[in-house]
Amino acid sequence: MPELPDVTVYVEALERRLVAGAAGSGAVNSAHIERVRVRSPFILRTFDPPIESAEGQTVRAVRRVGKRIVIGLEGELWLVIHLMIAGRLRWAEGDRAKPVRGTSTIEQAAIIFDVGTLAITEAGTKKRASMHLVRGDAALKAMDPGGLEIDRANEADFAERLRSRNHTLKRALTDPRLFAGVGNAYSDEILHAARLSPLQRTQNLHEDEVARLHATTRAMLGRWTNQLRREFGLVDARGHAAAGRFPGAGEITAFRPDFAVHGKFGRACPACGTAVQRIAYAENECNYCPRCQTGGKLLADRSMSRLLKDDWPATIEDLESLETQRDPS
């Protein structure tokens, strides 16, 4: 699922192309929507106002609300896009009558502007990406889950929100009602950098652990947001906003080579060399280093630990013993 750094890049790349006067934008006039093409019956979740109401309207703003991408239009209209897990955006300039190249089979909808076409794509069979058209600030606010914007939150606000419910740290960080924009991938990276167990309960944290988590969360999200801005040319060498390029196919991903633990099951932790472990649940997985984060303890994978019962390795030493038995060389 695109998370705060990824969504920020999408928002800024769109703003450069659609809003005149925005930082880094070379546009003389703001773009307007010529047509909205809906291909999937699942993606459009509203009927009033009708989607045709957006056609002919000029873009006034592009912003982020949590993990949602919001395009503000004339007439107090807001076009809200939530990409969920498999949704992505593709941009093309030029011939606006055709689907964006390479998207014809996975395009769910397309917003055709006078300056180019924004395609909403979604791979897979579970169609979860959504598009809403709402009118008025109150209607837009109702779509905000209410998560705290971490880059604007001081330590006290962060601690209050974190401890408001007695969740595991993994669940708390990824709850959009508690914190905005953090998902499965970046929560793994944050917890690894903070050296905290993903299953630690929020109400059991010491003050220094809360302070460390707050600082690490801000630093991790800021680091990756800026790294992606540079990758796509949205800032120049001096750090000033630039037009850049729109992310292409496969460039917005939850699996990045520079990640420490997310998607790195079985590989060496870059901090200590211990094999990264994971807990699989539902359609997601939690990746962690047992030496850096859990004091050498292996966290129980619900399905596998039930299957193996007493044979489930409880520590790094147990795991290494099993691996030695499998490969005595």
What is the secondary structure of 239-302 as a DSSP string?
S-B-------TT-S-S--TT-SSTT-TTSBPTTT-PBPEEEEETTEEEEE-HHHHSTTBPPPPH
pLDDT digits (tens, 9 = 90+) for 302-329: 554 444 344 444 555 444 433 434 454 4
The answer to whether residue 207 scores a pLDDT higher than 70 is yes
What pLDDT sits at residue 280? 85
Structural domain spans, the chain? 4-141, 260-329
**Is pLDDT of 282 > 70?**
no
DSSP string, 192-245: HHHT--TT-BGGG--HHHHHHHHHHHHHHHHHHHHHHHHHTTSB-TTS-B----
| pTM score, whole prediction | 0.89
Percent above pLDDT 70 for the chain: 87
Does the pLDDT at position 102 exceed 90? no
pLDDT tens-digit map of 31-43: 999 999 999 989 9
Q: Give 104's DSSP letter.
A: T
pLDDT digits over 143-155, tens only? 999 999 999 999 9
What does the block give as tokens for 269?
């932790």
Q: Is 90 exceeded by the pLDDT of residue 122? A: yes
CATH number, domain 4-141: 3.20.190.10
Q: How confident is the model over 47-81, as pLDDT tens digits?
A: 999 999 999 999 999 999 999 999 999 999 999 99
Average pLDDT over all residues of the chain: 89
> Span 125-139, mean pLDDT?
95
What is the percentage of the chain residues whose pLDDT exceeds 90?
A: 79
Check pLDDT > 70 for residue 228: yes
What's the mean pLDDT in 215-243?
95
Evaluate if residue 98 carries a pLDDT over 90: no
Q: What is the pLDDT of residue 325?
A: 40
